[in-house]
Structure 1
Amino acid sequence: MRVTRRKLITSASAGFAAAALSPRLAWATSEVSLGAMRITTLRDGSITQPADFMYDPMDQDALAQWLAVRGMARDAALNPDCNVTLLRHEGRTILFDAGSGSGFTATAGDLPDALAAAGVDPGEITHVVFTHGHADHLWGVLDDFEEPFFPNAEHLMGRTEFDFWYDPTTVDTISADRQGMAVGAKRRLDVMADRFTLFEDGEEILPGIAARATHGHTPGHMSFEVRDGGESVMVVGDAILNHHLSFDHPDWPLGADADRTMAAATRAALMDQLASDQMLMIGFHLPDGGLGRVERAGGAFRFVPA
């Protein structure tokens, strides 16, 4: 296994007209060779998470102590990166998640530029595999003209997750601050439904890629174990949401999770597995391209970039 880091600056010379349009940089932040597999993380930009969106359900006294140790302010918003994973293997060009597209937030939606910088045209993508249906993972499936952005790709999502967002009653059963997510997901799935293949936990959805249920952040959130021989990487999506609080206190409830109790149990179990196996992981919102390892740190964990 070989890990490299590089920055590919977007410019007109990248070969696609869209590459010259974004005022932000798009780059491939990390790359790992896994047997015959080539895995690259691509930055889709970043999102802003208001402090209460993450911290509100926690014990506020314990939170204040943790923030003081970390030198973080209680009311400071979090601004995590968004890392889309690109896998090239045996003639397949696979994306894990589709990014935000242009309809979610002005600070994200850079995946088209990042793909251009990596020399990949959207028409070359053969499969798009989704961890879950939140806007920063799903909304990039359509372009600005409501056409499929990856026109030749098969799209794959866990059945439970797809059914949740495709259900027209979901918008009436979730909290008000997430209803926009439900409306946006339903609209995109209505357009794309016939392009989706659904799967269950434990299935090998493509050669060398196995689905692992990591429910809680959303009802059907999935991670994916990517393996070639004795080497493997786990693409964890939002099952591990950030590089500090999630590792220091995986058992604390996070406001961003739909089922906070389940998500905390999932997070702790996943970190325990990753630390025990010393398996590389890619987190959608983790720094340094999201690629790293989980190490034990006393009774908790820490993220170590690869």
Structure 2
Amino acid sequence: MKTPIILNFDNSVGNIDGALTISLADYQERIRFGCSQQHYRSLCEHLAPLLPDHHYGPVLMGSGDYHHLSLFLIERLAQHYSATNPIQVVIFDNHPDNMRFPFGIHCGSWVSHVAKLPFVSHVHVMGICSNDIGNAHCFENRLLPLYRKKLTYWTLNHNTQWAKYLGLSKAFRCFHSADEMISAFIATQDKLALPTYLSIDKDVLSEHVIKTNWDQGQLAVYHLADTITALGHDIIGSDITGELSSYHYQTRWKRVLSSLDAQPDIALDKLHEWQGEQHQLNRQLLTLLG
């Protein structure tokens, strides 16, 4: 198994045998949930010499509040891929992570940046159940990557009529069950054989499977396992987010935005219990991605 890497902002991942752990606690307030482009680039410059050039295992980043760090991990692949030798990006997430955010980059806006990368041929966001794609929030989504056919939303049990009215129907694949969705996606991959970067936010899983900081989707672990197996050796990099952690922001705008996202306070006993369950799931995912 390739060496897993833990970007340790919030101490939520726990111990992983053989992992390279990079302490980033000093960056937690600046980076968590969202940050300016200046702070994002500062962290990237700090991380770049600490990471192996290539051939490392899955990167565990802690809470889904750090999912925008996937952009940095994907950007690093530019040294190996190009527009004539591209990759695809497959993201499991209950949210599109393609929302407008005028203040820099945050955990719900990074996908549009990935879609701009010349060596990324397409981005698939799998398992979206969130109201972020509902009619009331349609114009909060960045529409350009959808219009440019660089981004596809794979959605479950959601009314997305607005996509039809805006001429975006082909950018949406809508399903009534997770089994149906995964089968359809795997069928599209059968003859594709593209190098694939895989990003997993565990909030795509049902809350009956695992607990996260965010509202959750409808998938089971076997849906992830089936997709990983189907992609097989085409997976050239991966990351895992969606750990459960508790944090109180010092920055006022982060306190306000996180409260709007209804992230609940978690009792200490439940936090430890659910983190233990998360840890077991991480072991499963690392074995599958090994």
TM-score, normalised via structure 1 length: 0.37
Q: Which has the higher strand share?
A: 1
Q: Tell me which protein shows more helix as a share of its residues.
A: 2
| TM-score normalised by L of structure 2 | 0.39
